[in-house]
Amino acid sequence: MSFFDFHLKGRTNKEITPSQYISRLEDGEAIVLIDCRTVQEHQIKRIPESVVLPVQMFDQVDEWFPDRYQTYVIYCEHGVRSSKAVEIMVEKGYSNVYDLGGIVAWPGETESDLF
């Protein structure tokens, strides 16, 4: 393993900014938005149209999302769990997976089950 491989491991995930994500949606791209936080966090605050699959369950991601060619965008609270989730999906052979980072940086509307 080279110096660069060692220091960049886990940092090779494809990232997508909120504006890039929104632009792709506006262009009509079919994207599955996955919230990899807990169910409780998802109920408190989430990006509209997102589905929840906690990162702890990503070893079973292929059962929930069998299409490895679909475009998936993953987010969490601050970007740590989403990075890990993207890494797991890439290791499982998914080709169009993007890390949106954390909901804390989301500029758009959010939903909640608390109101």
Q: Is the dihedral of CA 8, 11, 13, 19 positive or negative?
A: negative
Better-predicted residue by pLDDT, 88 or 11: 88
Span 79-87, mean pLDDT? 96
Cβ proximity of 76 and 55 under 8 Å: yes
Span 4-24, mean pLDDT? 71
> In which band, very low, low, confident or very high, does the pLDDT at 60 lie, cut at 50, 70 and 90?
very high
Span 78-92, mean pLDDT? 96
pLDDT digits (tens, 9 = 90+) for 36-52: 999 999 999 999 999 99
Task: Mention every residue, 6+ apart, whose C-beta is less than 8 A from residue 79.
Answer: 99, 101, 102, 105
